[in-house]
Amino acid sequence: MDKTTHFGFKDVATDDKQKLVRGVFDSVSNKYDLMNDVLSFGAHRLWKSYTTKSSNVKAGDTVLDIAGGTGDLAIEFKKITGKNGQVVLSDINSSMLEEGRKNLINNGIFGVDFVQSNAELLPFKSDSFDCVSIAFGLRNVTNKDLALKEMFRVLKPGGSLLILEFSKTDSELLKKLYDFYSFNVMPKLGELIADDEDSYRYLAESIRKHPDQEKLKDMVLDAGFSFCEYHNLSGGIVALHKCIK
């Protein structure tokens, strides 16, 4: 692995990135859902709903939601898989897992397993899950190629991977508006609501460092997947990659 990597627009030691990302989410965990609603004008709930409805998950299936945070996807997957299915919510941050537990209880969802784990070294047997999802988490992973290979490993043959992530728009007007909003409005809202301007500046920067739709598709296929297609949402600001093992 390279000795340095990016943390937003900064170059940092590769070994330090995980600790820095953990610090960001430890800081914002208790306001994470509120900030998502404010910053996306509620659109993140529509993007996540589209993801779960596009999953082909059915009753009795096993699902792993990586970087599952406050549990938005896990809630919907558990409703689908039912009492005979299994949903595992994993996250590298204990503070985010704690918020996820609270959120599931508040929504009357029980029977979901919580696992603190690194996406680059998943503590699950090979060929274990019918579906793996990761929503707005892949861009924070230090070694994305390794994480994608781990997701491939734990999926059953024929299983699907869903990657919901911020991406790149082809519209110059939308790009200019989005850049202004990301670098001028988002950090200020982070300071006002979450008392943390720096973390939201990092989150805006991390989006720009994330691979675009085609590059991510190539990375997925290089990880061993036999099929990958993506669907642009909100003009390409967000994209959903659907991949098959």
Whole-number average pLDDT of the chain: 91
Q: How far is CA 49 from CA 211, 214, 233, in A?
A: 23, 23, 12
**Could you tell me where the beta strands, DSSP code E, fall in the chain?**
4-7, 10-13, 62-66, 86-91, 113-116, 129-135, 155-166, 227-233, 238-244
Q: Regarding predicted confidence, which is higher, 60 or 205?
A: 60
Q: What is the mean pLDDT of residues 69-98?
A: 95
pLDDT tens, residue by residue, 113-166? 999 999 999 999 999 999 999 999 999 999 999 999 999 999 999 999 999 999
pLDDT of residue 5: 75
Contact indicator for 13, 4 with CB cutoff of 8 Å: yes
How far is it, in rounded angstroms, from Cα 120 to Cα 145? 9
Locate all alpha helices (DSSP H) within 14-60, ordered by sequence.
Answer: 14-28, 32-40, 43-53
How far is it, in rounded angstroms, from Cα 66 to Cα 115? 9
With a cut of 80, say whether residue 19 has pLDDT above it. no
pLDDT of residue 121: 96
Helix (H, G, I), strand (E, B) or coil at 118: strand
With a cut of 70, say whether residue 174 has pLDDT above it. yes
pLDDT of residue 105: 95
CATH fold label, 21-244: Rossmann fold (3.40.50)
Extents of the domains making up the chain: 21-244
pLDDT of residue 20: 67
Per the confidence metrics, is the pTM higher than 0.95?
A: no
**β-pairing verdict for 238-244 and 155-166:** antiparallel
With b for 16 or more beta-carbon neighbours within 10 A and e for fewer, the 72-92 pattern comes to bbbbbbbebbeeebbbbbbbb
Helix (H, G, I), strand (E, B) or coil at 120: coil
Residue type (1 letter), 205: E
